[in-house]
Structure 1
């Protein structure tokens, strides 16, 4: 569904005579039930995420099933993305001895988040799945479980938990440091990891929707002055679309980078 259809409800009251003026987009615009009700509702974000998994799986299989020493364009693209995550993130952050077993997870996270973010500016979908908080939370829970289990398996539960507390501090300081450090590793890290991705995708899509629907409203319902002003609104929408593409890539990169950092911290002997 395009931004035009997404924002139809913003101008509907004016057209039907039930209200006056422009109605700004609200968080309710992001909820699109397809069928079902209550907790069992199948929504558009769920369909978009499922579509992304199908497209990614098909692309990876189709572009690599005839892999050659001299890669074609499709194989080269996949290899560049894989090399970016494998060597640029996993090996550099986790270390050459431990990184390989975490590459599939990090590569999957990066590709899935990137594709679902880019859906926010790709017609006719134009919906960033990560603007629904449940999806960042689900991905964060995967990272959360992986880095804690990896740390406990390597160090043992007791050593892993005690290793979270800095050594050599005055004893009275530990009264303050122990709850703060445990809160950081078990609460703050996963919370900020999920909220950072969600907040950027939600705010970006909301602004883009506002520019597009504001321009449409001024063009269709305004006087000559507002019709001229709508050109600026549409221009800002185009500029912001390019900017949003950069943000979408950066958020996929940052999420994967932080996931690798947390894994590295969990299995590092210095931790």
Structure 2
């Protein structure tokens, strides 16, 4: 059951009462393999669907690639070219960017697809609004960040560059090195995860709140009289929030991928 339908059902059950959506809607009951480590709930199924549709679109566009691209191939190449231009080439440079194009492409379109499920009818929830999915993407970035630095500089030089700032008097390193350790290797993946999760979670709650309030004013509310006109306001707010969520879905995928490229660039740079 979606957060929207649950909120509406609660309003209907309460007569003229109004029950806003809560965080419990992001933890639905299991559907398949209940009670096992492979338990799947509605949000897991939405993630699988988003990835399947994404892979299908890329397969359809590139299955018969030609030197002179067809319209479908051209659209896919345009999408991949956007990632190449804005993240790989501009941030990492052509040589390094080519090596990490698969990671950047998968990160951008994977997050985008899972973000957009929040505004698709019948899905109605962003797959990235639960912490585990943003954390999975962030850990992939974390591994790539460390791998890129070690591959470029070797283990000792990489960690030295990350922990010891150039031009700082050596006694200050006793203070700054632990701070850099926490900031680079702990705070960085957590901040990536939380930024994405909280943006999608809060936006979804606001959108559901607007539409459940509209349902209350127009359908379940009793003896509201002239106050029912506020349903027009909440409906308009819901439409605006849906459009806003669409923009946020794209923006969060862009920011996450941009930071991925920036972190990799920092790891391969000669100095911190």
TM-score (norm 2): 0.92
Does the aligned pair in 2 maintain the 1:90–1:102 contact within 8 Å?
yes
Does the aligned pair in 1 maintain the 2:210–2:237 contact within 8 Å?
yes
User: For 1:65 and 1:129, how far apart are their aligned partners in 2?
Assistant: 27
For residues 48-79 of structure 1, the C-alpha deviation after alignment (integer angstroms, 9 at most, x for no partner) is: 11111211111111111222344333222211
Does the aligned pair in 1 maintain the 2:3–2:25 contact within 8 Å?
no
Q: Equivalent residue for 2:234?
A: 233
Q: Equivalent residue for 1:213?
A: 212
Q: Equivalent residue for 2:173?
A: 174
Q: Equivalent residue for 2:137?
A: 139
Q: In the TM superposition, what is the alpha-carbon distance from 1:270 to its structure 2 partner?
A: 2.7
Unaligned runs of 5+ in 2: none
Aligned alpha-carbon RMSD (Å): 1.7
Q: Does 1:81 align with 2:82?
A: no
Does the aligned pair in 1 maintain the 2:3–2:21 contact within 8 Å?
no
Pick aligned residue for 2:106 from 99, 108, 116: 108
Pick aligned residue for 1:52 from 44, 50, 53: 50
Pick aligned residue for 1:22 from 10, 18, 35: 18
Q: In the TM superposition, what is the alpha-carbon distance from 1:87 to its structure 2 partner?
A: 1.7
Q: In the TM superposition, what is the alpha-carbon distance from 1:179 to its structure 2 partner?
A: 0.8
Q: Equivalent residue for 2:159?
A: 161
Q: In the TM superposition, what is the alpha-carbon distance from 1:208 to its structure 2 partner?
A: 0.2
Q: How many residues were matched structurally?
A: 267
Does the aligned pair in 2 maintain the 1:10–1:25 contact within 8 Å?
no
SS at match of 2:94: coil
For residues 99-151 of structure 1, the C-alpha deviation after alignment (integer angstroms, 9 at most, x for no partner) is: 11100111011111101111111112111000011100111111111110221
Does the aligned pair in 2 maintain the 1:130–1:201 contact within 8 Å?
yes
SS at match of 2:271: coil
Q: Equivalent residue for 2:150?
A: 152
User: For 1:81 and 1:39, how far apart are their aligned partners in 2?
Assistant: 36
Q: In the TM superposition, what is the alpha-carbon distance from 1:211 to its structure 2 partner?
A: 0.3
Q: Equivalent residue for 1:31?
A: 27
TM-score (norm 1): 0.93
Deviates more, 1:63-72 or 1:22-31: 63-72
Q: Equivalent residue for 1:189?
A: 188
Aligned pair in 2 of structure 1 residues 41, 65: CA closer, same or farther (>3 Å)? closer
Does the aligned pair in 2 maintain the 1:219–1:226 contact within 8 Å?
no
Unaligned runs of 5+ in 1: none
User: For 1:9 and 1:148, how far apart are their aligned partners in 2?
Assistant: 48
Q: In the TM superposition, what is the alpha-carbon distance from 1:2 to its structure 2 partner?
A: 5.7
User: For 1:210 and 1:225, how far apart are their aligned partners in 2?
Assistant: 21
Q: Does 1:42 align with 2:40?
A: yes
Aligned pair in 2 of structure 1 residues 213, 185: CA closer, same or farther (>3 Å)? same
Q: Equivalent residue for 1:91?
A: 89
Does the aligned pair in 2 maintain the 1:220–1:227 contact within 8 Å?
no
Q: In the TM superposition, what is the alpha-carbon distance from 1:3 to its structure 2 partner?
A: 5.8
Q: Equivalent residue for 1:203?
A: 202
Q: Equivalent residue for 2:8?
A: 8
